[in-house]
């Protein structure tokens, strides 16, 4: 939450110009791999490669030759890797290049991509997955691919819930010799298909689960905004929203990931990397990301979260049965956990009374300001979530928010006009009359200010009962003292991250970024399996 910021601040306290340049710089945008010429290693005559692939296919189609399958799979994969380089490189369109090698491309269907939709399609092996702790792959038949479809950049209009910059896709290429005539390239949607038929047998498809995840964060602009989102939240408010990692599917349960302070949705890249290799996860869950500027107070970010979630849920209901939508699971890390906590809990009058001594209709503010106060403190909670997982969440604040450096840092934050002129009217005097005895109690401090254990609204949230209709879980970091009131993850002490009643509490031996730790993601997987129950339902066609 806070420590990642402190070293940067120390380096820039005497260099404000350097800090400003760093905030405003948008370095050269990366590009997807292109291929003008066939790589030298793949310049083998296509008839030779087709013959090797066909012969290997015939072995893989014969159950009596299972002992030869591993070698045949290796030969087949090597041949189609070179053939795919010939398919993706050079002049002409995809079908023209396929015909030149004596093949054709299968038409798209529910399980097969239309190659024309991609702005780039390339072998997953070209992607550097170094930003992830482990490259997650599945051995099998075919060539793992990454597809990339450009979308509008940050600040430009896009279809609702569409990722900025571009959409990544998981695919596996196979060359099918099942029918007479030219072999057929199948570009399988690896997210939903596990196997491919080879005559009368079936073989698992190869996959590289990490490549699309890593490539997205290489290309995405969302993760470039971490510090800007804190200091200048007004600049990036338009990018607040829910993003679907893939088109909405009414047949699967939304898993909503909410990041914390000085972060973006890439805070969950290790979680995504750990979950998507599991067939049960891909069959039953879909990922939604919430992005928001983290310099705003968590109360306002929670209000925006509820509004964006209601938009996303209305859209989801227009696409089919709400049965899986209403089994939603929300995972919130750090301040994102506070946002989740507040958004599913009925505040009654508690949050409002913690900051204001007069009824809303007696406040000296504009009608828009009064409406914003009500949306932020006197709201109706979300009804769709059925399970919430808190990760290192400061339910009672973090003492680090009161440290001198954090206070200095919070003064750099420039809140949106919605939270200043629009909400607080025209004068500081009006603000002081709105709040209880101490103006510092205003719920519309900066994000760091609202994370203080002394913040009245944060303290009030901790007194609200958790709704019994939702199952809650906590995963808490510990730097070595054990799960006692004295333990700490380096940012949030146990007395703040511990909350009751919860269905489970897991202590993991790591610091505040618990979502990067393997045991955390194993626990999330356990909870998600628990959420499915003993009967995970029929396999999706």
- pLDDT tens, residue by residue, 377-397: 999 999 999 999 999 999 887
Q: Token pair of 199, please?
A: 């005559």
Which is it for the CA torsion 398, 400, 402, 405, positive or negative?
negative
- Note whether residue 485 is domain-resident: yes
Cβ-based neighbours of 399, under 8 Å, separated by 6 or more: 453, 493
- Note whether residue 287 is domain-resident: yes
Question: Are residues 189 and 94 part of one domain?
Answer: yes
Torsion over CA of 360, 364, 365 and 367, rounded to 10 degrees? 50
Question: Are residues 293 and 384 part of one domain?
Answer: yes
For residue 366, what pLDDT is reported?
74
Q: Where is the domain boundary, 196, 213, 230?
A: 213
Query: How many helices (H) and strands (E) would you count in the chain?
Result: 20, 16
Q: Closest by alpha carbon to 205, among 247, 273, 245, 145?
A: 145
CA distance 328 to 336: 16
Q: How many CA atoms lie within 13 A of 320 on its CB side?
A: 9
Domain, as residue range, for 497 = 247-394+441-531
Question: Are residues 79 and 141 part of one domain?
Answer: yes
* Length of the chain measured in residues: 541
Q: Token pair of 284, please?
A: 């039953």
Q: Closest by alpha carbon to 163, among 119, 206, 222?
A: 222
Question: Are residues 285 and 205 part of one domain?
Answer: no
pTM exceeds 0.75:
yes
- Note whether residue 59 is domain-resident: yes
- Note whether residue 66 is domain-resident: yes
Q: Closest by alpha carbon to 287, among 213, 391, 340?
A: 213
Which portions of the chain are predicted below pLDDT 70?
1-29, 221-238, 398-454, 481-485, 534-541
- Note whether residue 10 is domain-resident: no
Q: In this structure, how many other beta carbons lie within 10 angstroms of the beta carbon of residue 365?
A: 20
DSSP readout, 483-496? SSTT-B-SSSBHHH
Cβ-based neighbours of 488, under 8 Å, separated by 6 or more: 478, 479, 481, 494
Question: Are residues 255 and 191 part of one domain?
Answer: no
Instruction: Enter the DSSP assignment of 114.
Output: -
Helix (H) or strand (E) holding 273: helix 269-275
Q: Closest by alpha carbon to 461, among 369, 386, 373, 394?
A: 394
Question: Are residues 289 and 161 part of one domain?
Answer: no
Phi-psi category of residue 140: left, alpha or beta, with phi > 0 → left and psi -120 to 50 → alpha:
left
Question: Are residues 201 and 148 part of one domain?
Answer: yes
Question: Are residues 166 and 116 part of one domain?
Answer: yes
Question: Are residues 200 and 72 part of one domain?
Answer: yes
CA distance 378 to 382: 13
Return the CATH number at 326. Answer: 3.40.50.1820
Q: Token pair of 305, please?
A: 């979260």
For residue 483, what pLDDT is reported?
56
Q: Token pair of 62, please?
A: 């014969």
CA distance 409 to 423: 23
For residue 372, what pLDDT is reported?
81
Q: In this structure, how many other beta carbons lie within 10 angstroms of the beta carbon of residue 215?
A: 26
- Note whether residue 2 is domain-resident: no
CA distance 175 to 322: 38
Rg (CA), the chain: 26
- Note whether residue 107 is domain-resident: yes
Q: Where is the domain boundary, 166, 194, 213?
A: 213
CA distance 273 to 140: 19
For residues 189 and 170, the answer to whether their CB atoms sit within 8 Å is: yes
Helix (H) or strand (E) holding 99: helix 94-100
For residue 165, what pLDDT is reported?
86
For residue 20, what pLDDT is reported?
41
Q: 286: helix, coil or strand?
A: strand
Question: Are residues 197 and 262 part of one domain?
Answer: no
In 190-341, DSSP assigns E strands to: 195-198, 201-204, 207-208, 241-244, 253-258, 285-291, 328-333
- Note whether residue 58 is domain-resident: yes
For residue 35, what pLDDT is reported?
87
Question: Are residues 264 and 204 part of one domain?
Answer: no
Question: Are residues 268 and 331 part of one domain?
Answer: yes
CA distance 447 to 260: 10
For residues 494 and 485, the answer to whether their CB atoms sit within 8 Å is: yes
The domain total for the chain is 2
């Amino acid at each position: 939450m806070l420590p990642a910021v402190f070293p940067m601040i120390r380096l820039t306290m005497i260099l404000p110009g350097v800090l400003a340049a760093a905030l405003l710089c948008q370095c050269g945008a990366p590009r997807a791999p292109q291929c003008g010429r066939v790589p030298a290693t793949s310049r083998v005559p296509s008839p030779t490669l087709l013959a090797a692939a066909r012969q290997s296919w015939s072995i893989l189609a014969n159950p009596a030759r299972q002992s030869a399958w591993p070698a045949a799979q290796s030969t087949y994969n090597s041949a189609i890797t070179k053939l795919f380089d010939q398919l993706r490189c050079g002049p002409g369109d995809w079908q023209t290049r396929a015909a030149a090698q004596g093949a054709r491309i299968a038409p798209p269907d529910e399980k097969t991509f239309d190659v024309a939709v991609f702005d780039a399609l390339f072998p997953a092996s070209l992607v550097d997955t170094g930003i992830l702790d482990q490259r997650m792959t599945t051995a099998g038949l075919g060539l793992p691919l990454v597809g990339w479809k450009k979308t509008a950049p940050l600040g430009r209009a896009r279809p609702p819930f569409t990722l900025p910059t571009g959409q990544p896709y998981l695919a596996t290429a196979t060359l099918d010799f099942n029918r007479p005539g030219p072999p057929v390239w199948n570009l399988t949607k690896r997210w939903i298909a596990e196997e491919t038929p080879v005559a009368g047998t079936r073989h698992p498809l190869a996959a590289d689960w990490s490549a699309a995840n890593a490539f997205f964060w290489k290309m995405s602009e969302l993760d470039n905004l971490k510090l800007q989102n804190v200091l200048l939240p007004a600049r990036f408010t338009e990018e607040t929203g829910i993003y679907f990692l893939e088109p909405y599917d009414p047949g699967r349960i939304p898993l909503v990931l909410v990041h914390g302070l000085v972060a973006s949705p890439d805070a969950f890249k290790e979680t995504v990397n750990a979950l998507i290799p599991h067939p049960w996860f891909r069959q039953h869950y879909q990922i939604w990301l919430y992005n928001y500027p983290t310099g705003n107070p968590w109360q306002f970010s929670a209000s925006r979260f509820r509004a964006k979630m209601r938009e996303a849920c209305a859209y989801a209901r227009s696409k089919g049965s709400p049965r899986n939508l209403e089994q939603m699971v929300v995972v919130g890390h750090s301040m994102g956990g506070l946002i989740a906590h507040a958004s599913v809990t009925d505040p009654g009058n508690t949050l409002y009374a913690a900051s204001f001594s007069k009824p809303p209709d007696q406040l000296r503010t504009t009608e828009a300001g009064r409406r914003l106060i009500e949306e932020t403190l006197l709201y109706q909670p979300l009804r769709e979530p059925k399970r919430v997982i808190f990760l290192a969440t400061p339910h009672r604040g973090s003492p680090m928010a009161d440290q001198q450096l954090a206070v200095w840092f919070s003064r750099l934050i420039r809140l949106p006009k919605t939270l200043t002129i629009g909400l607080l009217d025209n004068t500081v005097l009006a603000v002081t009359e709105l709040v209880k005895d101490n103006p510092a109690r205003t719920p519309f401090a900066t994000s760091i200010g609202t994370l203080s254990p002394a913040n009245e609204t944060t303290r009030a949230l901790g007194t609200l009962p958790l709704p019994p209709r939702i199952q809650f879980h906590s995963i808490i970091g510990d730097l070595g003292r054990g799960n006692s009131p004295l333990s700490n993850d380096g940012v949030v002490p146990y007395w703040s991250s511990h909350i009751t009643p919860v269905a489970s509490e897991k202590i993991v031996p790591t610091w505040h970024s618990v979502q990067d730790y393997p045991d955390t993601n194993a626990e999330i997987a356990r909870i998600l399996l628990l959420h499915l129950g003993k009967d995970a339902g029929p396999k999706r066609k």
